[in-house]
Amino acid sequence: MLSIKNLHASVGGEEILKGINLEIKAGEVHAIMGPNGSGKSTLSQVLAGSETFEVTEGEITLNGENLLELETEERAREGVFLAFQYPVEIPGVSNLQFLRTAVNAMRLHRGEPEMNAAEFMKHAKEVSKQVDLDPAFLKRGVNEGFSGGEKKRNEIMQALLLQPKLAILDETDSGLDIDALHVVSDGVNALRAEDRAILMVTHYQRLLNHIVPDYVHVLAGGKIVKSGGRELAHELEERGYGWLGVKDEEATASSSVT
Amino acid sequence: MATTDKEVSELVKREYEHGFVTDIESDTFEPGLNEEIIARLSGIKNEPEWMLEWRLKAYRRWLEMEEPDWAHVGYPKIDYNSISYYSAPKRPEDMPQSLDEVDPELLRTYEKLGIPLHEREKLAGVAVDAVFDSVSVATTFKEPLAKAGVIFCSISEAIQDYPELVKKYLGSVVPAGDNFFAGLNSAVFSDGTFVYVPKGVRCPMELSTYFRINAANTGQFERTLIIAEDSSYVSYLEGCTAPMRDENQLHAAVVELVALDDAQIKYSTVQNWYPGDENGKGGIFNFVTKRGAAIGKNSKISWTQVETGSAVTWKYPSCVLRGENSVGEFYSVALTNNYQQADTGTKMIHLGKNTSSTIISKGISAGKSSNAYRGLVKFGPGAEGARNFTQCDSLLIGDRCGAHTFPYIESKNKSAIVEHEATTSKVSDEQMFLCRQRGIDPEQAVSMIVNGFCKEVFKELPMEFAVEAGKLLEVSLEGSVG
């Protein structure tokens, strides 16, 4: 499925990712943990094709296809989905219109007919219930005036609608209260499938109680410094990052980072 | 990034869709402006003596006026003697009585413009008055309108057939001495539209006029006068296009609206004059005076404009709110790309008690363009309990364009309330990334974001034109991503 080899990326001449190697097979859920500033979000953004970062070395392939040669939207159509840490607002554009445009862009790419407004509405309503969002919210502007929790649920709803091959979840748990965390986790668990890979990026272990990963990796200083099974997350919770020789500036901070 | 730049340079070269020239025989005056030209113009139109006098008076006044230079626009000085003040398609002496009599070449022109008159007549139920260069070519739907008592004809016809109405109202809202371009228009206006809605009548259909400048080196000076008697209602829409030419062309129109007691006039504009090429060569100078007088109590005048064309736009559709409880509205989307310049906005003059006005202005700047909102909200001493709400939002695409807001507020009444909100935002990299990450093309993403930004204004447009306006934005925005 996803293969990352010796990936280096920088922003404004400063290298953030310093040689990442990672293999994720279809059906697997991987968690990337690590202190703030370790490059977790950068990795998510680089995979999705953000133009903020420059890839200076290495390769990324999805089912053998070289992602680095594809534009952001082309990667999306090949099945790369990023649930944003801070979903941005698009005032005046209804969620419904936005989602339908996205879904139809994917369908067009796959050679399927576009969904008309009525069909899509019906489909979107069902999916919105899955993440406990009032269907009325489909008519609101994209992320416009949404609470932190609503934004995150909206991201998961989009993943459910778009059915990606690779879902990257960037700090999807941040800013969620415990109820919302349950809803979001249920949504992500519903995404788990034989033919889909999930990459979760998180600072905290608590999400991993709800979405149990197959593998956990510790990212620090732009490199993966340790990989293991799900038990690694528990170990990190108990012992922090210190034993790995990694400083965590926010080890004592609360989990309400938004 | 490299791909984006390439896309930009390719798309910027897009052709202006309406940039064709129609090959028809036309009678055109030699360039120049003097009393003799005005007399000839008046003579060709067989105008009564009083009309000629009115024109000449305006001309003499204009000679003493100075071209304004306060707008936030720059353009080479216009030589008013190098312009031809009359151009008309050659045709039989009589005005065409039906579409069948209109030059088929002309009809094809309108079809190219996307306004097949026949179609429109049948499908949309829109009555269209089409002004080609200087004369009114065909007015459809005259009969059902006449049945309702609504007069919808060219201003030239109105001067012949309804002289009393024209005499009473022409220049009553925008006097010849109002400003330089209005003065010029008063002297040389060649045609335009006249609408009269009698007392208690709700105009049974949307009225619509399409303007087009075809001949080279001509100016277009149309004059529109709409009168809504007590408790009447009319919705009117105008659309404009012009061929691509390297020289700039002048368009200086005057629109006057008069709303009496409890009357409502809704005036919508979709302006898509040729904006010039990507290097700023050519394009229309659009210097227009539009004003509505809400004379009657509880009357309402509503301007909605979507301005995407012209090289330079200088335009402030305004409302004089004289009647008690009268209402003025201004909804505007002004988009500039490449080297276009727009200085546009409105004036809300509150004179009567409890008058209220709303201004929603959306300016979008892309390329190297400059886009200014200029608005005046004025409360006279008698404007007890009057209020205004203004919202000016600017959206920037790229980092080589400019947006400016010049709001002026003058109040001579302490009870008047004015609220003003202004924002400037950019189509952000984050918004683009979100859209593209969801598989949406960059062009489509920009168009969607801009349409969202304009939503409040588009919902004021008549339904079918709202769709047209959305498409127009899409076309005008092509090549603005980067």
> What span, in angstroms and rounded, lies between the C-alpha atoms of B403 and B395?
8
- Residue B417 identity (one-letter amino acid): I
- Domain of residue A219: give its range: 2-80+166-174+195-244
A160's tokens: 């459910």
State whether A93 and B444 contact (CB < 8 Å): no
Strand-strand pairing, B127-132 and B135-139 = antiparallel
A242's tokens: 């210190």
- Residue A190 identity (one-letter amino acid): A
The pLDDT tens digits for B129-187 are 666 555 554 555 667 788 899 998 889 999 999 999 999 999 999 999 999 999 999 99
Determine which of B66-80, B95-109, B193-207 has the lowest per-residue pLDDT on average.
B95-109
> What span, in angstroms and rounded, lies between the C-alpha atoms of A74 and A59?
17
Residue B231 banded pLDDT, cuts 50, 70, 90? very high
Place of tokens 């979008």: B364
Cβ-based contacts of A73 with chain B (< 8 Å): 436-437, 439-442
- Examine the pLDDT at B269 and tell me if it is beyond 80: yes
- Examine the pLDDT at B105 and tell me if it is beyond 80: no
Distances in Å between the Cα of B85 and the Cα atoms of A90, B172, B184, B186, B190 are 47, 24, 11, 12, 8
For the segment B3-7, the average pLDDT, to the nearest whole number, is 41
How many contacts, defined by CB atoms under 8 Å, are there between A and B? 78
State whether A72 and B451 contact (CB < 8 Å): no
* Dihedral, B12, B13, B17, B21 alpha carbons, nearest 10: 140
pLDDT at B464: 64
State whether B456 and A92 contact (CB < 8 Å): yes
The pLDDT tens digits for B428-450 are 889 999 999 999 999 889 889 98
- Examine the pLDDT at B298 and tell me if it is beyond 90: yes
Cβ-based contacts of B442 with chain A (< 8 Å): 73
The pLDDT tens digits for A146-205 are 888 899 999 999 999 999 999 999 998 888 888 889 999 999 999 999 999 999 998 888
Place of tokens 């309804």: B162
The pLDDT tens digits for B332-342 are 988 888 888 88
Determine which of A108-117, B22-31, B199-208 has the lowest per-residue pLDDT on average.
B22-31
CATH code at A46?
A: 3.40.50.300
Residue B13 banded pLDDT, cuts 50, 70, 90? very low
State whether B440 and A49 contact (CB < 8 Å): no
Nearest to B468 by CA among B208, B19, B114: B114
Residue B96 banded pLDDT, cuts 50, 70, 90? very low
> What span, in angstroms and rounded, lies between the C-alpha atoms of B68 and B173?
20
In this complex, which of B3, B433, B440 lies closest to A50 when CB atoms are compared? B433
Q: What percent of chain B has pLDDT over 90?
A: 42
> What span, in angstroms and rounded, lies between the C-alpha atoms of B88 and B90?
6
Q: Which of A 99-118 lie inside 8 A of B, CB atoms?
A: 101-102, 105-106, 109
The pLDDT tens digits for B450-460 are 888 888 888 88
| Residue A239 domain flag | yes
CA A180 to chain B, closest CA, distance in angstroms equals 23
pLDDT at B477: 73
| Residue A92 domain flag | no
| Residue B467 domain flag | yes
pLDDT at A170: 94
> What span, in angstroms and rounded, lies between the C-alpha atoms of A199 and A25?
11
pTM for this model (two decimals)? 0.79
pLDDT at A240: 82
Identify which has the larger pLDDT, A40 or B11. Answer: A40
State whether B453 and A105 contact (CB < 8 Å): no
| Residue A220 domain flag | yes
Place of tokens 């009647």: B323
In this complex, which of B433, B440, B442 lies closest to A102 when CB atoms are compared? B440
Cβ-based contacts of A91 with chain B (< 8 Å): 452-453
Cβ-based contacts of B438 with chain A (< 8 Å): 76, 98, 101-102, 105, 158, 162
- Domain of residue B83: give its range: 2-477
- Examine the pLDDT at B95 and tell me if it is beyond 50: no
The pLDDT tens digits for A89-146 are 999 899 999 999 999 999 999 999 999 889 999 999 999 998 888 888 888 999 998 8
Nearest to A92 by CA among A137, A147, A141, A136: A141
Which residues, including other chains, have CB under 8 Å from residue B378's CB and lie 6 or more apart?
A: B347, B348, B349, B350, B409, B410, B411
> What span, in angstroms and rounded, lies between the C-alpha atoms of B327 and B318?
12
pLDDT at A252: 39
As for how many domains chain A has, the answer is 1
pLDDT at B93: 43
| Residue B482 domain flag | no
Residue A28, class by beta-carbon neighbours within 10 Å (0-12 exposed, 13-18 middle, 19+ buried)?
middle
The pLDDT tens digits for B363-385 are 988 888 888 899 999 999 999 99
Determine which of A241-245, B52-56, B129-133 has the lowest per-residue pLDDT on average.
B129-133
The pLDDT tens digits for A70-92 are 999 999 999 999 999 999 999 98
Which residues, including other chains, have CB under 8 Å from residue A192's CB and lie 6 or more apart?
A: A27, A29, A198
Average pLDDT, chain B: 81
| Residue A201 domain flag | yes
- Examine the pLDDT at A250 and tell me if it is beyond 50: no
The pLDDT tens digits for B459-480 are 887 766 777 777 777 767 766 6
- Residue B104 identity (one-letter amino acid): P
Determine which of B60-74, B111-125, B432-446 has the lowest per-residue pLDDT on average.
B111-125
Instruction: Please check whether residue A138 is in contact with residue A94, taking contact to mean a CB–CB distance below 8 angstroms.
Output: yes
Question: Chain A residue closest to B439 (CA)?
Answer: A73
In this complex, which of A82, A90, A141 lies closest to B437 when CB atoms are compared? A82
State whether A105 and B440 contact (CB < 8 Å): yes
Instruction: Please check whether residue B344 is in contact with residue B373, taking contact to mean a CB–CB distance below 8 angstroms.
Output: yes
Q: What is the DSSP letter of B416?
A: -
pLDDT at B182: 94
Backbone angles phi, psi at B220, to 5 degrees: -115, 125
Count of CA atoms in the C-beta half-sphere (13 A) of B406: 15
- Examine the pLDDT at B216 and tell me if it is beyond 80: no
State whether B430 and A81 contact (CB < 8 Å): no
Cβ-based contacts of A80 with chain B (< 8 Å): 437
Q: How far apart are the first and last CA of chain A?
A: 31
| Residue A102 domain flag | no
> What span, in angstroms and rounded, lies between the C-alpha atoms of A159 and A123?
14
- Examine the pLDDT at B18 and tell me if it is beyond 90: no
> What span, in angstroms and rounded, lies between the C-alpha atoms of A122 and B213?
48
> What span, in angstroms and rounded, lies between the C-alpha atoms of B113 and B92?
24
pLDDT at B310: 76
State whether B452 and A90 contact (CB < 8 Å): yes
- Examine the pLDDT at B14 and tell me if it is beyond 70: no
pLDDT at A64: 93
| Residue B140 domain flag | yes
Instruction: Please check whether residue A43 is in contact with residue A20, taking contact to mean a CB–CB distance below 8 angstroms.
Output: yes
Say how far residue A156 (Cα) sits from the centre of its chain: 9
B387's tokens: 């209020």
Cβ-based contacts of B474 with chain A (< 8 Å): none
As for how many domains chain B has, the answer is 1
* Dihedral, A162, A168, A173, A176 alpha carbons, nearest 10: -30
Q: What is the DSSP letter of A217?
A: E
Q: What sign has the CA pseudo-torsion A53, A55, A56, A58?
A: positive
State whether B439 and A158 contact (CB < 8 Å): no
| Residue A93 domain flag | no
CA B199 to chain A, closest CA, distance in angstroms equals 39
pLDDT at B164: 96
| Residue B263 domain flag | yes
Q: What 3 state SS string does B47-85 have?
A: CCHHHHHHHHHHHHHHHCCCCCCCCCCCCCCCCCCCCEC
Instruction: Please check whether residue B278 is in contact with residue B247, taking contact to mean a CB–CB distance below 8 angstroms.
Output: no
Q: How far apart are the first and last CA of chain B?
A: 8
Q: Strand locations in B155-206, DSSP E?
A: 193-197
- Examine the pLDDT at B123 and tell me if it is beyond 90: no
Determine which of A48-57, A216-225, A243-252, B124-133 has the lowest per-residue pLDDT on average.
B124-133
Element holding B155 (H helix, E strand): helix B155-161
State whether B437 and A106 contact (CB < 8 Å): no
CA B437 to chain A, closest CA, distance in angstroms equals 5
Average pLDDT, chain A: 90
Backbone angles phi, psi at B242, to 5 degrees: -150, 155
Q: Which of A 116-175 lie inside 8 A of B, CB atoms?
A: 141-142, 158, 162
> What span, in angstroms and rounded, lies between the C-alpha atoms of A252 and A244?
17
pLDDT at A206: 83
Instruction: Please check whether residue B389 is in contact with residue B360, taking contact to mean a CB–CB distance below 8 angstroms.
Output: no
Q: Supply angle C-alpha B274, B280, B282, rounded to 5.
A: 45
Interchain CB contact of A249 with B (< 8 Å)? no
Question: Chain A residue closest to B459 (CA)?
Answer: A92
> What span, in angstroms and rounded, lies between the C-alpha atoms of A57 and A64?
18
| Residue B203 domain flag | yes
pLDDT at A80: 97
> Is the ipTM above a cut-off of 0.90?
yes
| Residue A218 domain flag | yes
> What span, in angstroms and rounded, lies between the C-alpha atoms of A196 and B405?
51
Question: Chain A residue closest to B454 (CA)?
Answer: A92
> What span, in angstroms and rounded, lies between the C-alpha atoms of A182 and A150?
13
Nearest to B329 by CA among B349, B348, B315: B348
Largest interatomic CA distance in chain B = 68
Residue A215 banded pLDDT, cuts 50, 70, 90? very high
